[in-house]
Amino acid sequence: MKLEKGKISSSQLMYLMTGFILGSTLLLSFVAPITKQNTWIAILFGGAAGLILVYITSTLAMKFPEKNLVLILETVYGRYVGKIISVLYILFFWMLITFNVKGISDFFVTLIMPETPDIVFIIIIVLLCGYAVSKGLEVIARTSLLLVSIFIIEVILIFILLYKNLDFTNLLPIFDISLSKLVQGVHTITAIPFGETVVFLFITGYVSKIEKARKASLSAVVIGIVIFIIISIRNVGVLGNSCCTIRYPSYQAARLIEVGNILERMELLLAISHIAIIFFKITIYYYATTIGVAQVLNLRSNLPLVYPIGIISVIISSIIFVFHLDSVEIGTNTFPIFSLPFVFFIPLVTLIIVNIKEKNKKKGNI
């Protein structure tokens, strides 16, 4: 039984992926203490590496139209090994749901409403994402256009409004950074926004014209790189040396907007677009997790799983770390290495195996 009957167009795939990549915007502040004013260089290199990763995953997806990740793994590795790897992937994505949920709830608790217990934010965002997942992939793709556009417009708008506060000399000296720190920064950026696009192996299979999928994915990565560079240049330019000590640099930068006496206190705009984009990221992970579990267990539909997975995610999110203090540690040290097999090795090996099988088939035919 096909789990997902919907079809999305390749431009919707591009928006989905862009929204997903941009959803890691709060995580840019992880890298700032390490790379300081050279964050944009790290983004550039990380984006280049991300292009390679996305190329691998989208090529893999293109070879298996209408199949999600679990089916691909089962086809390549056989039923049992495939299922084991799928379960690992599902746990990986589930963990990422909890990280991101905790991230957005922490954003709000720290900056806007500190006395509200974070479980309220967690429950509500999980409910919202669960609702979106229960409506199906097509509806998620339809909402992507507006939400992603809101985010991109907000980034550009705040950049323009902050133009007179920008001091480009804050970006100097370029490349004044030790190689090990640069590599660490690049690694983090490759892993977190771009590497996690491996989740799109669940979605790319449903593009109606699948040969356009690769181009759409790569354009999404390019847009992500550009926007991230704009964000990091804006933050470093406006905040100067404090960019490494401030926890949420975009928010503090937005607080500095003072155009005439009219446009002040614009950080609400930032909060709105952050919720929209992180909702997006969590929804895609949530979708992948429910479809993955449904596929592994051979269920007919993923709807009954939405609620239980949501409840478990809420519970886990509320008990994992105090976000920033531990998560910086995890985000820069542990996570890039931990995610390496999921993000890089397994897709690469799978692609190589598929290519070898095709070549063998061709040889066999001849």
Partner 1 sequence: MRKKCILIMNIIIFLICLSGCWNRRELNTLAVSIGIAVDLTEEREPYKLTSQIVLPSRTEKESNSTKKPYYNLMSEGKTLFDALRNATHESGRKVYLPHTKVLLIGEEAAKRGIVKYLDLFSRDHETRPNLKIIVVKGKASEVLEIESKIEKVPAFSLDKLTEMQKATSQSTVVNLLEFNNNLISKTTEPTCGVIEVNKKNGNKVVEMYGTAVFKGEKLVDYLDDVETRGFLWIKSDVKSGIIVIPSTEENEKISVEIIKEKTKIKTEIKENNIEFTIRIEGDYNVGEFVSDKKINNSETLELIREGVEKVIILEIKSALNKAKDLNTDIFGFGEKVHKKYPKEWSSIEEQWNMLFQDIKVKYEFQTNIHGAGTVSNTAIPRN
Partner 2 sequence: MNFFSRKLAYYKLNKENSKVNDENKPKSLLERDIETNITKFKIKFNEMPDVTVRQFEIGNENKIQCAIIFLQGMVDKKIVNESILKPLLYDSFLKQESQKIMPKNINSIDWFIKNIISIDNVSKSKDFDKTVIKCLSGYTIMLIDSYDEAILLDTKGWEGRSVEEPKTESVVRGPREGFTESIYTNTQLLRRKIKNTNLKLENMTLGVQSNTEVSIAYIKGIANTDIVEELRKRLNRIKIDAILESEYVEEFIEDAPYSLFPTVAHSEKPDVIAAKLLEGRIAIFVDGTPFVMTVPMFFIENFQVSEDYYSRPYYTSFLRILRFISYLIALLGPCIYVALTSFHQELIPTPLLITMLGASEGTPFPTILETLGMMITFEILKEAGVRLPRAIGQAISIVGALVIGEAAVSAGFIAAQLVIVVAITAICSFVIPEQVDSITVLRLILIIISGILGGYGIIVSLIWMYIYLCSLRSFGMPYMSPIAPFNLKDMKDFFIRVPIWMMNNRPKLMTENQKKQGADLKPSLPEDKKNKE
Applying CB under 8 A, the residues found at the interface with partner 2 are 9, 11-12, 108, 112-113, 116, 120-121, 124-125, 128, 131-132, 135-136, 139, 142-143, 145-147, 264-265, 267-268, 271-272, 275-276, 279
b (16+ CB within 10 A) / e for 227-250: bbbbbbbbbbbbbeeebbeebbbb
In the set 88, 258, 351, 354, which binds partner 1 (CB under 8 A)? 258
- CA 76 to chain CA centroid, Å, is 26
Q: With beta carbons less than 8 A apart as the criterion, state whether 54 and 343 touch.
A: no
Compute the least distance from the CB of residue 140 to partner 2, in Å.
8
Q: Is 123 in the site for partner 1 (CB under 8 A)?
A: yes
Q: How far is the C-alpha of 236 from the C-alpha of 233, rounded, in Å?
A: 5
Kindly tell me the burial class for residue 305, based on how many C-beta atoms sit within 10 Å of its own C-beta (0-12, 13-18, 19 or more). Answer: buried
Say if residues 201 and 56 touch (Cβ distance below 8 Å).
no
Taking the least distance from each CB to partner 2, the nearer of 135 and 212 is 135
Interaction of residue 222 with partner 1, rule CB under 8 A = no
| 200 close to 61: Cβ distance less than 8 angstroms | yes
Nearer to partner 2, 264 or 358 (CB): 264
Is residue 242 a contact residue for partner 1 (CB under 8 A)?
yes
The dihedrals phi and psi of 184, each to the nearest 5 degrees, come to -65, -45
Question: For residue 251, what are the CA distances in angstroms to 106, 133, 247, 266?
Answer: 13, 29, 9, 9
| Binds partner 1 by CB under 8 A, chosen from 241, 333, 334, 355 | 241
Q: Is 107 exposed, middle or buried (0-12, 13-18, 19+ CB in 10 A)?
A: buried
Site membership for partner 1, residue 260 (CB under 8 A): no
With CB under 8 A as the contact rule, the residue among 80, 176, 262, 366 that binds partner 1 is 176
Which listed range, 184-192, 229-237, 255-263, 323-331, lies at the site for partner 1 (CB under 8 A)? Answer: 255-263
Spatial CB neighbours of 288, under 8 Å, sequence gap ≥ 6: 69, 90, 93, 199, 202, 203
CB of 113 to partner 2, least distance (A): 6
Q: Which of 256, 271, 340, 351 binds partner 1 (CB under 8 A)?
A: 256
Between 43 and 207, CB nearer to partner 2:
207
- In a 10 Å sphere around its CB, with 0-12 CB exposed, 13-18 middle and 19+ buried, how is residue 72 labelled? buried
Pattern 91-120, binding to partner 1, x per CB under 8 A?
A: -------------------xxxxxxxx--x
Closer to partner 2 at the Cβ: 100 or 232?
Answer: 100
Give the SS3 label for residue 300: coil
Q: Which of 26, 152, 210, 239 binds partner 1 (CB under 8 A)?
A: 239
**Contacted entry of partner 2, partner 1, none for residue 271, CB cut-off 5 to 8 Å set by kind:** partner 2
What residues line the site for partner 1 (CB under 8 A)?
110-117, 120, 123-124, 169, 172-173, 175-176, 239-242, 245, 252, 255-256, 258, 307
